[in-house]
Amino acid sequence: MNPNFLQTPIAYLKGVGPNRADILKAELGIETYRDLLHLFPNRYLDRTSYYKINQLQPSGADVQVVGKIIHLKMVEQKRGKRLVATFVDDTGQMELVWFRGHKWIKDSIKINEPYVVFGRVSQYGSTFSMPHPEMELLVQHQQGLKIAMQPIYPSTEKLSAKGITNRVVSKMVQQLFLESRGLFPESLSPNILDELRLISKTEALLNIHFPKNQELLARAQFRLKFEELFFVQMQLISKKMLRKQKIKGLPFENVGENFTTFFENHLPFELTEAQKRVIKEIRNDLGSNAQMNRLLQGDVGSGKTIVALMCMLLAIDNGFQACLMAPTEILATQHYNGLKELLVNMDIKIALLTGSTKKSERTLLHNQLENGNLNILVGTHAVLEDKVQFKNLGLAIVDEQHRFGVAQRSKLWHKNDTPPHILVMTATPIPRTLAMSLYGDLDVSLIDELPPGRKPVTTVHRFDNNRLKVFGFLKDEIKKGRQVYIVYPLIQESEAMDYKDLMDGYESIARDFPQPEYQISIVHGQMKPADKDYEMERFVKGETQIMVATTVIEVGVNVPNASVMIIESAERFGLSQLHQLRGRVGRGAEQSFCILMTGHKLSEDAKTRLQTMTSTNDGFEIAEVDLKLRGPGDLMGTQQSGLLALKIADIVKDNQILQTARYHAMQLLKNDPRLEKEENAPVLRAFTKMMANKTIWNYIS
Ligand code: ADP
Ligand code: MG
């Protein structure tokens, strides 16, 4: 085959032409032969079996039935006429229905002749009906040459309106196979083909479009999914290898005084095994010659902050500065206060920089950063501003990374001549398998253990009409000296309405929990940062027992004495958000509670979410459910990783294949990093082409 054959503009394909080419491009993004070849059917109609009428199920599947039309009539209705045929076989009767094209059908239909009808059945009362069936006289059907499994291609209304029906698309694909003589270059190595018993590329493409039978279809799907995931992994892994070779890291060779002193004298608790392991992993990175780019995952409350601190001490011991970025002012402030307290007996200079840092302070801070007097800078996005220059930034830590865009993260790279080591921390649990494909080019560390003595949060679901009981429970808890969060949703599109909900809620709580017995804090997005801090501070100090808030408190906030989390309109929150919110309690020694309040009207998904929350505290389990409910689209990083652009594989459903693909990509690159071996020539060729075509999206970090 001419190597550029697949690049041929689709207009040149026989039966397409410029007009249809325009529509194909606009509707399906098909510009070249290759695009058409990779337009995979959504589903297939199995025309290998025939159903009896009494076997029909209201499943919506397409089936074929053999029988006769015994009667034809017009039915008039308000909304228009329809033509109804009574269709029978030896087991029963059903209806065939047409809403258009009546005359043509009436004229062409033969009464009492055996037909094969084919289409989707639905049930009305006790009668099955098949609208607009495909039909063929049985005699013709038996003579015809048939594709056993008929492909159904993705389509749009416009496409069918312009006459590009499924049949037409299918014809185009057939034409493409004709012109190519059905030969497509192999893109996998003989080793992999052998080991996984994969069918060849040519055979796979043929069978994905025109499967000979179910088994070959399944093998074609497997082969193409594998291939797709394999090349995504090839890209991620080779990128990582390249980074490790090319990007020199700042060597942190010493484990010096600060680290040791802190570890021996000031560590407020014993580290968990997981924390120790992760610190070791990070130390290995920092001590090597390569720049670290590591993702630290750990469920809410697993103790990431102390890990961050110890890494920053390593940086300082090696003569570098460190910074810690958090997504909100509240969180940055809390980190700053927490770190300052941990470092109280040590000679470390630490400062806070946020949007509300005063100009005079800011100027001072800039100077200290530039002349190296400041060791640690904690802050919000403000840290990223160009004005903020370090003398020698060695380590940048980003907390709760899903709040930061990729572009922002990359800004950190340019804060130093040599890029600083980067540690990204997240409590949004990403299913392990997904993390590895999403962040295939990052190293991943995992804190999979909570500090000892934590009691799992007891979670219940209560309907709004039980509010009084819930409030009674709150009063009991407050009497025991505990504190309580009450959280309201805040969704961007309806901010005004949410604000009203919050205020209404606040008023009603203020009525039920009157002063001076009860003190209430309120924090929401429309408050000035200073006011937020003030209210937060009161709650942290225990001056108020109730914190009414929007999701601004979602991440990071740490008040160990708070033991109850009430989430209002819980059905409006996503699973990961609910889990984050719940993570605000259960931080002290007391038994903690999370109460999910909702109305009675709940969608199926909402029910699943609530049920998941009440049945488990495991962030990873929750993440898996979340992934299944929402698909990968909403998960962080998916846009950049190209996993959404997958044509045939599905990272959730095909996770097993993904792992196989990753394994083989890793093996291959390990044994032949530059793809020089003869046997890997097909991989090299395909890979080079994909990169050139940007078929695989660029993943930047
Ligand atoms: P997250 O991972 O959610 O950021 P934090 O770092 O805020 O968690 O830690 C949660 C709480 O657990 C803090 O109060 C912290 O002091 C405490 N903590 C962390 N590690 C340990 C440990 N090994 N033993 C006991 N308490 C710990
Ligand atoms: Mg944290």
Segment 218-240, tens digit of pLDDT: 899 999 999 999 998 898 888 77
- 550 alpha carbon – ligand 2 mean position (Å): 18
Q: What is the CA radius of gyration of the chain?
A: 32
In sequence order, what are the residues at sequence separation of 6 or more whose Cβ sits closer than 8 angstroms to the Cβ of residue 341? none
Confidence of residue 370 (pLDDT cuts 50, 70, 90): very high
Q: In b/e form, how buried is each residue of 198-226, taking b as 16+ CB within 10 angstroms?
A: bbebbbbbbbbbbbeeeebbebbbbbbbb
Query: Which residue is associated with the tokens 């959404």?
Result: 644
pLDDT at 176: 94
Question: Best mutation site among 277, 305, 400, 401 for ligand 1, i.e. most ligand atoms within 8 A of its Cβ?
Answer: 305
Can you name the residues that pair with 594 across neighbouring β-strands? 459, 565
Is the pLDDT at 640 greater than 50? The verdict is no
Which CATH homologous superfamily contains domain 257-286+303-426?
P-loop containing nucleotide triphosphate hydrolases (3.40.50.300)
Q: What tens digit of pLDDT does each residue of 552-564 get?
A: 665 557 788 999 9
pLDDT tens profile 152-182:
898 888 888 888 888 899 999 999 999 888 7
Say which ligand is closest to the CA of 324: 2
Question: Is residue 345 over pLDDT 70?
Answer: yes
Q: Are 303 and 438 in contact (CB under 8 A)?
A: no
Does the structural domain 1-47+147-183 have CATH classification 1.10.150?
A: yes
Distance from residue 425's CA to the centre of ligand 2 (Å): 8
Percent pLDDT > 90 in the chain is 49
For residue 620, pLDDT beyond 60: yes
Ligand nearest to the CA of 580: 1
3-state secondary structure 159-188: HHHCCCCHHHHHHHHHHHHHHCCCCCCCCC
Taking 80 as the threshold, does the pLDDT of residue 292 lie above it?
Answer: yes
Average pLDDT for residues 250-275, to the nearest whole number?
91
Closest atom of ligand 1 to CA, residue 453: 25
**Cβ pair 696, 232 in contact under 8 A:** yes
State the Cα–Cα distance between residues 219 and 214, nearest whole angstrom: 9
CA 305 to ligand 1 centroid distance, Å: 7
In the predicted model, what is the mean pLDDT of the chain?
A: 86
| CATH code for residues 458-616 | 3.40.50.300
Q: Where in the chain is the domain with CATH 3.40.50.300?
A: 257-286+303-426, 458-616
Report the pLDDT value the prediction gives residue 459, as an integer from 0 to 100: 97
- Which CATH fold topology does 48-146 show? OB fold (Dihydrolipoamide Acetyltransferase, E2P) (2.40.50)
Instruction: Supply the residue whose CA is at minimum distance from atom 17 of ligand 1.
Output: 303
Which ligand sits closest to the CA of 556?
2
Pocket of ligand 1 (CB under 6 A): 269-272, 275, 298, 300-306, 427, 451, 558, 560, 587
Dihedral sign, Cα of residue 198, residue 203, residue 208, residue 210: negative
Banded pLDDT at 639 (limits 50, 70, 90): very low
Token pair of 662 as six digits: 């990753």
Atom 22 in ligand 1: which residue has the minimum CA distance?
Answer: 451
